[in-house]
Amino acid sequence: MMDLHDRLARIAGPAAEPSAAEADADLARGRRALRRRRSVRALGTSAFAVAVLAVAATYGNQAAPATTPPDKAPAQVVATRLVAYEGKQPQGFTIDKVPAGWEIQGGGVGHLTIAPQNAADKNPDAFVNKIAIMLQSKDDHSTPTGTQLDVGGKPGVLNVAQGSHGGKNLWVKQPDGLWMLVQIWDAHGWTQQDIVEFADGIQVQPGAERGVG
């Protein structure tokens, strides 16, 4: 029985040798295919590199902190300079010094208000962005707590003014046992020494009265 491979070989006939032209054409096609593979590989590498750079740039832009707009930048803190006060003294409290550019805005037997000379709020009963001086309220029977200081030979306590803009309270105990409160609404630019020096120049007059609330 004739083998299947022999039958197929007889049908196909003798194998023809490729001509020189056919060999050159095959070689050219092979070279073109190789160049295409190299170009695709290079393009893929370049595209990957561009993608990596794009991701890095995007991440870098997202991670960079936002620049604070000029109108939102923190205001520059100006150091406090105390100067002698030469104006009219109120009834309940008298003072020796004020911050430069500040004035007594109003006062009476219950409190004294000191404010910048160009303050928009002229109400002496409003203490925002000002300095308020008064005696401890009749309703407040607590003893002030905080940093203990000496204020001209009197016991003093320095603590934070709640609800203010970086404010400070300096409590000074008077000879009769009452506490005088010096509240600086915005104490930026004030050193502890400035606050003590300012409070040391305040005198509680015999007619001063304690408020309520």
Quote the percentage of the chain above a pLDDT of 90: 58
Query: Band of the pLDDT at 24, cuts 50, 70, 90?
Result: low
- Least confident range from 18-27, 52-61, 87-96, 140-149: namely 52-61
User: Which helix (H) or strand (E) element contains residue 15?
Assistant: none
The answer to whether residue 89 scores a pLDDT higher than 50 is: yes
DSSP assignment, residue 9?
H
Predicted confidence (pLDDT) per residue in 173-190, tens digit: 999 999 999 999 999 999
Calculate mean pLDDT across residues 95-105: 97
**pLDDT score at 179:** 98
Segments in the chain forming alpha helices (H): 4-12, 20-63, 192-200
pTM above 0.85, yes or no: no
- CA-nearest of 84, 92, 97, 126 to 110 is 92
Q: What gap in Å lies between CA 28 and CA 50, rounded to an integer? A: 33
H or E element that contains 52: helix 20-63
Burial class (CB in 10 A: 0-12, 13-18, 19+), 132: buried
Total Cβ atoms within 10 A of residue 11: 7
pLDDT at 96 over 70: yes
Look at residue 163 in the predicted model and tell me its pLDDT.
84
Q: Is the pLDDT confidence value at 55 over 90?
A: no
Residues in the chain: 213
CA distance 209 to 22: 119
Q: In angstroms, rounded to a whole number, what is the distance separating the alpha carbons of residues 93 and 107?
A: 8
Q: Looking at the domain covering 82-204, what would its CATH class be?
A: mainly beta
Distance from the first to the final alpha carbon of the chain: 125
Query: Lowest-confidence range among 38-47, 83-92, 110-119?
Result: 38-47
